[in-house]
Structure 1
Amino acid sequence: MRIQVESRVKSLEDKTKIPYVVGSKSPTAVAINSASKAGEWIKSKLGMHQELNTKVSPQDLVTDVDKGAEMMIRKLILTHFPNHDILGEEGVAPGATASAAALSKASQSEYLWIVDPIDGTTNFVHGFPFFCVSIALAYRGEVIVGVIYDPIKDEMFVAEKGKGVYIHGNRGEVSKEANLSDSVIGVGFNPDREFGLPTNMKGINALASTTRSLRAGGSAALHLAYVAIGRLSGYYEVGLNAWDIAAGALMVAESGGIVTDTVGKPYDIGVHHVVASNGKIHAELLETIKAANATGIA
């Protein structure tokens, strides 16, 4: 496993480099290494979790594996960057208010790592093979590195600001659909039953009749990675958090796509309601969501 990870890091470092280097390791190398190691450990625990709890609703799950993976990632990052700050999903109390407070405090950091140890925990719990590790690094509030690792498919997505997005060293590009009617759009069934899910359902109902098809895999980060490499034309969901979006949003932008909030304002790490696309269908996608009163923004 060590040889495999080191080989992957070296290959991707050769293709994507940024000047934010401390010691012998770049942030990208550390993110790739952390995602690889955590992902392989998560995969080894599939069907073997020992604790299962809920957060904002009975549908919002967390396991001992989520917590263990985040602890592993934190240790790996802090070994190389002890002065950097980390915002991890499992280190924040459940609920939108707690998430907003944690992000507000963390956004003052010069270097902030944004970590979702398992994006798609419900899938992990049920053995549905669509979940990932998502790691991003923001410098003064701007995301500069994004890594998403799917341990089931062994697919590593890597982006650096200004350097493009890569999957196993191959450059990724967004899809070429020019019309919403020809597009496949990713959507989500948000676990927040009071606000997130009802709002998303309005958007889903509208998109179901205006797109070629919809896909709801259950991982925001993987959906965004798929937009970045052209597997999806776009993605829409209301009620997300920084750790769901940060790495994937950079990937979409670096592959030629567009990421905004649901009313068209440019993405930043405080966005909770997101629309990502190949760029060509973005205006039409926003218009459809707005007409359905599904932006989630008053």
Structure 2
Amino acid sequence: MKERGMKERRMKERTMTERGMKDYVVALASSVREAVLAARDQAGSRLVRGHSPGGDAQFGLDDVAEAAVWKYVADAGLPVAVYSEDRGLQFHGERPEHLLVVDPIDGTRPAVAGLESATVSVAVARMSDRPRIADVEHALLMELGTGAYLYGDRDTDTVQAHGYGPAAVPALTTNTDLTRMFWSIEFNGHPARLMAGAYGHLIDRSANTGGVFVFNSATYSISRLLTGQLDAYVDIGNRLLRDTPALLPEFERAGNGRVLHLFPYDIAAAVFLAEKAGAVITDAYGEPLGETALTDLSVLNQRSCVAASTPELHRALLEGITWQV
């Protein structure tokens, strides 16, 4: 009986491998989405149950999403390592060849409020001693509200879009003008005073003739560049702190005692997809994000991000932001 069980497990693992990683990650994200939508209106979904290893508040809905990730992984049977926001690094099966970096809900606050700006983010890299964003081979962003998703892998030249209707996606805008810019910014864990000092003048210039949005989800914001709804996304807190370490107490106050900048699971899939779609996405110094380690939550491995649909707009943002605040 034991030998039969091992044989069935090996057959299941081979079947999962043959299905392809795209099917695997789409099914994983769909499972998370179904669980989250079913639990969103339940009592306790908005309650803070604790904090993730990185220090971000974890809501009751996050618990549901994390459990759904592991249930799918266990049921699917494929040997994988999984790094998720709340549970860190876990292993399923022996000698996994792939690492899944999963943010089960990127945008928990919009999700519990029933708003649209939340995604399931999954990036897949080969296992190694120090996997990086540059090592990602498959990436998926699935909208929690609609189930629409963006997928890309190393073997294809373009990002594949599903559920976005007849319009072609990706569809990057061609805007180069800061005054006409539709863009999103980040405030979670970021002192509002510092953010206003850094790009308040850009908000003033673009809020009327363009649009300024706060989505509380890096992945949703970056994905809107690919859909053509936004021209840019900016999260610069990490550069401000690196440039002026004396600002640490302010960032810790805004983050309830922790530094809450972009973690690798926040951006791993989004960076891969944005680059494949032709967007310009870097840290706030204009440097590539590929060297970011996928399983390191330390302050030194946290990141800033400036993403834009055109090189000209990206350059204008880097030059137009006030870095010394």
Instruction: Return the TM-score normalized by structure 1.
Output: 0.75
Q: Say if 1:272 and 1:81 are closer, same or farther in 2 by CA, change over 3 A.
A: farther
SS in 2 for 1:23: helix
Aligned counterpart in structure 1 of residue 179 of structure 2, from 162, 175, 181:
181
Once the two structures are superposed, the pairs formed by residues 231-250 of structure 1 within 5 Å of their partners are: 231-237=229-235, 238=237, 239-250=261-272
One-letter identity of the residue aligned with 2:262 = L
Q: Could you tell me how far apart the structure 2 residues matched to 1:287 and 1:204 are?
A: 11
Match for residue 146 of structure 1?
139
One-letter identity of the residue aligned with 1:208 = I
> Any conservation in 2 of the 1:165–1:228 contact (CA below 8 Å)?
no
SS in 2 for 1:48: coil
Report deviation, 1:183: 1.5
> Any conservation in 1 of the 2:158–2:276 contact (CA below 8 Å)?
yes
Match for residue 66 of structure 2?
70
Match for residue 225 of structure 1?
223
One-letter identity of the residue aligned with 1:88 = S
Match for residue 304 of structure 2?
273
**Superposed CA offset, 1:108-160 (max 9, x none):** x9632111111111122333332121111123422222111112123212122
> Any conservation in 2 of the 1:132–1:151 contact (CA below 8 Å)?
yes
Once the two structures are superposed, the pairs formed by residues 71-86 of structure 1 within 5 Å of their partners are: 71-77=67-73, 79-82=76-79, 84-86=80-82
Alignment pair present for 1:282 and 2:314 = yes
One-letter identity of the residue aligned with 2:281 = V
Structure 1 segments unaligned to the other structure (5+ residues): 1-20, 93-101, 103-108
Q: Could you tell me how far apart the structure 1 residues matched to 2:120 and 2:24 are?
A: 13
Q: Could you tell me how far apart the structure 2 residues matched to 1:44 and 1:261 are?
A: 36
One-letter identity of the residue aligned with 1:236 = V
Alignment pair present for 1:131 and 2:127 = no
Q: Could you tell me how far apart the structure 1 residues matched to 2:193 and 2:28 are?
A: 36
Match for residue 39 of structure 1?
33
Q: Could you tell me how far apart the structure 2 residues matched to 1:254 and 1:113 are?
A: 19
Q: Could you tell me how far apart the structure 2 residues matched to 1:267 and 1:22 are?
A: 31
SS in 2 for 1:228: helix
One-letter identity of the residue aligned with 2:144 = P
Length, aligned pairs only: 252
Match for residue 197 of structure 2?
202
Percent identity of paired positions between Structure 1 and Structure 2: 22
Report deviation, 1:199: 4.2
Structure 2 segments unaligned to the other structure (5+ residues): 1-14, 90-95, 238-260, 294-301
Q: Could you tell me how far apart the structure 1 residues matched to 2:158 and 2:43 are?
A: 36
Alignment pair present for 1:165 and 2:159 = yes
Q: Could you tell me how far apart the structure 1 residues matched to 2:308 and 2:61 are?
A: 32
Question: Which deviates the most, 37-46 or 267-276?
Answer: 267-276
Report deviation, 1:210: 4.0
Q: Say if 1:293 and 1:230 are closer, same or farther in 2 by CA, change over 3 A.
A: farther
Match for residue 95 of structure 1?
none
Q: Say if 1:61 and 1:128 are closer, same or farther in 2 by CA, change over 3 A.
A: farther
Report deviation, 1:174: 1.5
Q: Could you tell me how far apart the structure 1 residues matched to 2:160 and 2:181 are?
A: 23
Match for residue 121 of structure 1?
108
**Superposed CA offset, 1:180-226 (max 9, x none):** 22211111112355xxx554343341420343221111211111111
Q: Could you tell me how far apart the structure 1 residues matched to 2:193 and 2:78 are?
A: 41
Q: Could you tell me how far apart the structure 2 residues matched to 1:144 and 1:278 are?
A: 22
CA RMSD of aligned residues (A): 2.7
Q: Could you tell me how far apart the structure 2 residues matched to 1:80 and 1:175 are?
A: 41
Report deviation, 1:89: 0.4
Q: Say if 1:29 and 1:117 are closer, same or farther in 2 by CA, change over 3 A.
A: same
